[in-house]
């Protein structure tokens, strides 16, 4: 036997291929050799291909592929703002005034105790409707067990019932329409079932002063359904012997409960007795944008976009912030047009606001809670569609010398200046207005030319009612929202009275009247809302500004609007124009008077001219700032004999 040295044996083993190195392959989770990645599998489409090469443009690689991705946060997990498919996810935010997934309400704040909690959930004892949510504190079931409701059979959408509260029990308690004595007497509970979604009208007849409630659960006023007329969930608007009515829109199919309630029995005035009522269900009509103020809407007026949004919510630029129930915590306002959304947490809640005038100015303060074209608010300072359906307010204004705890030291106040009065109903829900147009204030010049200084607004109302506080200042510094004009805001810059054969409106036609025109310029420092402004000659109103397919109802500072007598205006570069709503301007060649008034018939300007010259307009000389008028072609630098919608030299405003 030959014996080999140990070293030779080791060399021989190595030559035969013996080794302790591992063999690696794509899919084993280890990046090796020519591999660019290894995710533990050989499946393509997950960022690492079947041959362990990086895949470009895959969700989760931390690089946004603009062709298919809107985000890429380096993972494929949903719920973190970027979904598993790399699409941006909406991040819900409680307090933004929008009801997001997981929220039952959103009242534009994160304060607790106002009906909508800090996590945007409806708090016990409240109902919340609308966006932003308006939350209403409801009553509670009286002690004891709710009696078995009486069934009202619905036949062809109609059901009726009768009863007598003289000897019944007190099942339901709580305020109704702000009167604390309501719902404290005997009552009766009825139930009916809707087979399909319906609008519901309930009419009650009684020779005593009853009230009505409509609820989703028997005797539980936290489930009270909003009343369409006053949006407060119950009806107590009639007088003795007048009965009551309650309407609700787009109720889902299901079972509902009606409570007919007495007042607390008073030996001097027993408000109880027999009654009858009828329930009528019809096909639902509620839809935003139909011009009808429906349930769960704060407004429905597509002609008034500066106050009513496209989603039928009241437009506002500020929201009340609590605490503001004393002067020390008053909410400070800038000297500009504001529309402030607020509410009263109780009957004793008082909201304070302050503002500082840097120079003498005129103020207008107004409250409203709805915009309903079918129920006109009669406050003198409002446009015709502002309305008060449930809010009852009192505005008090103090200067720096006033004591806000003593109203006798105030400058001005207004309580219930106007109201909504639906047919057949009496409304105690009224708003307030302070300003130069106030019809019932003690001083017709209230709010006019206040000296520079700091002022305080104290606003009072009734529990759980929302409001808009509208503040205007003239001059209005830095305003972005349009306001109704006052005298001095508009100038009559150019007008054509004797058009003869001129084609001023560029429609290719000439008549004796269609080419008459009036050109107005906004010389204020803020946008103007032209709604309701009228143009008259010496005879009658010839044009009323209202929403149309042509001109804008908002006229920005320094801009012009033209009103032609008729025709089909098509002048290049002139986009803001109207055709007279009466079909003519009626300007006399021999001389006439042009008068502008606001929506409340307050005069804005008037001008009387003499004999007009055919085919030539009268124009301020110079444009806008002139104090006298000259024939257009006599003005230095003028181009042509007229220039509606443009300056006399043909340049744009």
pLDDT in tens, 302-341: 667 778 888 888 889 899 988 899 999 999 999 888 999 9
- Report the range of poorest mean pLDDT among 306-310, 338-342, 438-442, 493-497: 438-442
pLDDT at position 4:
41
**Whether the predicted pLDDT of 212 surpasses 50:** yes
- Report the range of poorest mean pLDDT among 180-189, 300-309, 629-638: 180-189
The answer to whether residue 411 sits within a structural domain is: yes
* 439 & 505 share domain: no
Interatomic CA distance for residues 441 and 80, integer angstroms: 57
**CATH number of the domain bearing residue 611:** 2.60.40.1260
Residue with the bigger pLDDT between 647 and 9: it is 647
Helix (H) or strand (E) holding 577: strand 577-579
- Report the range of poorest mean pLDDT among 240-244, 345-349, 510-514, 621-625: 240-244
**Whether the predicted pLDDT of 382 surpasses 60:** no
* 500 & 467 share domain: no
* 455 & 529 share domain: no
- Residues in the chain, overall count: 653
The arithmetic mean of pLDDT across residues 629-638, rounded, is: 94
The answer to whether residue 407 sits within a structural domain is: yes
**Whether the predicted pLDDT of 183 surpasses 60:** no
Q: Which residues pair with 434 in a beta bridge?
A: 365
* 516 & 612 share domain: yes
**Whether the predicted pLDDT of 14 surpasses 50:** no
Q: Which residue has the tokens 């309903």?
A: 372
Residue with the bigger pLDDT between 106 and 179: it is 106
Q: What is the pLDDT of residues 45-84, one digit of tens each?
A: 777 888 888 776 778 777 888 778 888 887 777 777 788 8
**CATH number of the domain bearing residue 177:** 2.60.120.380
* 496 & 607 share domain: yes
Residue with the bigger pLDDT between 40 and 442: it is 40
Q: Which residues pair with 630 in a beta bridge?
A: 619
Of the residues 440, 474, 508, which one is the last residue of a structural domain? 474
pLDDT at position 499:
77
The arithmetic mean of pLDDT across residues 220-234, rounded, is: 68
Q: What is the pLDDT of residues 95-145, one digit of tens each?
A: 888 888 778 888 888 887 777 888 888 776 566 777 888 776 554 454 445
pLDDT at position 236:
59
pLDDT at position 181:
46
**What percent of the chain is modeled with pLDDT above 70?**
80
Q: What is the pLDDT of residues 269-279, one digit of tens each?
A: 667 889 999 99
Encode 387-449 in three state secondary structure.
Answer: ECCCCCCEEEEECCCCCCCCHHHCCEEEECCEECCCCCCCCCCEECEECCCCCCCCCCCCCCC
The answer to whether residue 37 sits within a structural domain is: no
- Report the range of poorest mean pLDDT among 40-44, 273-277, 400-404, 587-591: 40-44
Q: What is the pLDDT of residues 259-305, one digit of tens each?
A: 988 875 555 566 788 999 999 999 887 778 777 777 667 787 766 77
Of the residues 445, 474, 503, which one is the last residue of a structural domain? 474
* 343 & 462 share domain: yes
The arithmetic mean of pLDDT across residues 12-32, rounded, is: 59
* Mean pLDDT, all residues of the chain: 80
**What percent of the chain is modeled with pLDDT above 90?**
34
Q: What is the pLDDT of residues 547-565, one digit of tens each?
A: 887 888 989 889 999 999 9
pLDDT at position 279:
95
* 463 & 436 share domain: yes
The answer to whether residue 139 sits within a structural domain is: no
- If one counts the domains in the chain, the total is 3
**Whether the predicted pLDDT of 356 surpasses 60:** yes
Q: Tokens for 625, please give them.
A: 């700032």
* 501 & 626 share domain: yes
* 269 & 322 share domain: no
Where in the sequence is the domain holding 178, given as residue range(s)?
150-282
* 504 & 630 share domain: yes
Q: What is the pLDDT of residues 411-432, one digit of tens each?
A: 988 876 543 333 333 334 467 8
The arithmetic mean of pLDDT across residues 222-239, rounded, is: 63
Backbone phi, then psi, for 407, in 5-degree steps?
-65, -15
Contact (CB, 8 A) for 626 and 521: no
Residue partners of 325: CB distance under 8 A and separation at least 6: 349, 350, 351, 352
Calculate the dihedral angle through the C-alpha atoms of 599, 604, 606, 612, rounding to the nearest 10 degrees: -80
Q: Tokens for 340, please give them.
A: 């402030």
**Whether the predicted pLDDT of 18 surpasses 60:** no
Q: Which of 215-219, 422-426, 585-589 has the highest mean pLDDT?
A: 585-589
pLDDT at position 440:
53
The answer to whether residue 644 sits within a structural domain is: no
The answer to whether residue 552 sits within a structural domain is: yes
Terminal Cα-to-Cα distance of the chain (whole angstroms)? 119
- Report the range of poorest mean pLDDT among 14-18, 160-164, 451-455, 615-619: 14-18
**Whether the predicted pLDDT of 582 surpasses 80:** yes
Residue with the bigger pLDDT between 571 and 229: it is 571
Cα 253 to Cα 17, 419, 476, 600, distances in angstroms = 83, 34, 51, 45
Q: Which residue has the tokens 């708003």?
A: 431
pLDDT at position 9:
37
The arithmetic mean of pLDDT across residues 513-519, rounded, is: 95
* 274 & 381 share domain: no
Residue with the bigger pLDDT between 215 and 175: it is 215
Of the residues 444, 474, 504, which one is the last residue of a structural domain? 474
The answer to whether residue 116 sits within a structural domain is: no
Q: What is the pLDDT of residues 244-256, one digit of tens each?
A: 888 888 888 999 9
CB atoms within 10 A of CB 372: 27
The answer to whether residue 59 sits within a structural domain is: no
Pick the closest to residue 173 from 205, 129, 211 (CA basis): 211
* 437 & 523 share domain: no
**Whether the predicted pLDDT of 441 surpasses 50:** no
Does this model's pTM top 0.85? My answer is no
Strand order in the sheet with 331-333: 331-333, 350-357, 453-460, 394-398, 412-415
Q: Tokens for 110, please give them.
A: 């994160």
């Amino acid at each position: 036997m030959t014996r080999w040295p140990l070293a030779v044996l080791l060399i021989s083993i190595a030559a035969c291929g013996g080794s302790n190195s591992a063999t690696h392959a794509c899919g084993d989770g280890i990046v090796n050799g020519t591999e660019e990645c290894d995710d533990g599998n050989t499946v393509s489409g997950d960022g690492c291909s079947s041959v362990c090469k990086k895949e470009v443009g895959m969700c989760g690689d931390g690089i946004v592929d603009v062709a298919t991705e809107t985000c890429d946060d380096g993972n494929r997990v949903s719920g973190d703002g970027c979904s598993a498919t790399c699409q941006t996810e909406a991040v819900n935010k409680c307090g933004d005034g929008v009801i997001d997934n997981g929220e039952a309400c959103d009242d534009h704040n994160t304060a607790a105790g106002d009906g909508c909690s800090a996590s945007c959930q409806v708090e016990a004892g409240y109902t919340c409707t609308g966006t932003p949510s308006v939350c209403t504190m409801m009553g509670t079931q009286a002690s004891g067990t709710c009696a078995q409701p009486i069934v009202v059979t619905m036949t062809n959408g109609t059901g009726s019932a009768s009863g007598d509260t003289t000897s019944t029990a007190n099942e339901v308690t709580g305020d109704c329409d702000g009167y604390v004595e309501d719902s404290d007497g005997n009552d009766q509970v009825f139930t009916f079932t809707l087979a399909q979604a319906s609008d519901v009208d309930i009419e009650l007849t009684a020779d005593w002063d009853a009230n009505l409630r409509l609820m989703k659960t028997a005797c539980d006023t936290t489930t009270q359904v909003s009343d369409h007329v006053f949006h407060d969930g119950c009806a107590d608007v009639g007088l003795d012997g007048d009965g009551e009515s309650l309407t609700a829109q787009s109720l889902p199919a299901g079972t509902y409960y009606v409570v007919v309630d007495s007042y607390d029995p008073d030996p001097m005035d027993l408000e109880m007795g027999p009654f009858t009522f009828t329930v009528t269900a019809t096909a639902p009509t509620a839809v935003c944008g139909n011009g009808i103020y429906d349930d769960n809407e704060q407004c429905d007026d597509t002609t008034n976009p500066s106050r009513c949004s496209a989603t039928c919510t009241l437009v506002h630029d500020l929201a009340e912030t609590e605490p503001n129930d004393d002067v020390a915590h008053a909410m400070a306002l800038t000297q500009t047009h504001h529309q402030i959304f607020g509410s009263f947490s109780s009957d004793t809640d008082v909201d304070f606001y302050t503002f500082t005038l840097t120079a003498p100015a005129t103020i207008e303060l107004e409250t409203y809670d709805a915009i309903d074209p079918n129920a006109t608010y009669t406050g003198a300072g409002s446009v015709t569609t502002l309305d008060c359906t449930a809010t009852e307010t009192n505005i008090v204004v103090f200067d720096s010398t006033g004591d806000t705890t003593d109203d006798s030291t105030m400058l001005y106040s207004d309580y219930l200046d106007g109201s909504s009065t639906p047919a057949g109903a009496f409304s105690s829900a009224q708003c307030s207005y302070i300003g130069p147009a106030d019809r019932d204030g003690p001083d017709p010049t209230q709010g006019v030319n206040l000296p520079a200084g700091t002022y305080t607004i104290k606003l009072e109302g009734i529990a759980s009612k929302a409001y808009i506080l509208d503040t205007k200042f003239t001059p209005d510094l830095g305003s972005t929202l349009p306001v109704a004009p006052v005298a001095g805001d508009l100038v009559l810059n150019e007008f054509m009275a004797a058009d003869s054969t001129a084609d001023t409106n560029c429609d290719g036609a000439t008549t004796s009247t269609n080419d008459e025109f009036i050109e107005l310029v906004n010389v204020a420092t803020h946008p103007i809302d032209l709604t309701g402004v009228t143009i008259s000659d010496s005879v009658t109103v010839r044009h009323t500004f209202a929403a149309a397919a042509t001109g804008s109802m908002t006229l920005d500072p320094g801009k012009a609007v033209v009103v032609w007598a008729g025709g089909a205006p098509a002048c290049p570069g002139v986009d803001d124009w109207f055709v007279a709503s009466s079909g003519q301007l009626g300007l006399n060649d021999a001389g006439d008077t042009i008068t502008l008034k606001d929506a409340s018939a307050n005069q804005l300007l008037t001008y009387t001219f003499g004999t007009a010259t055919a085919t030539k307009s009268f124009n301020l000389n110079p444009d806008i700032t002139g104090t006298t008028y000259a024939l257009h072609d006599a003005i230095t630098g003028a181009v042509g004999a007229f220039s509606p919608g443009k300056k006399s030299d043909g340049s744009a405003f």
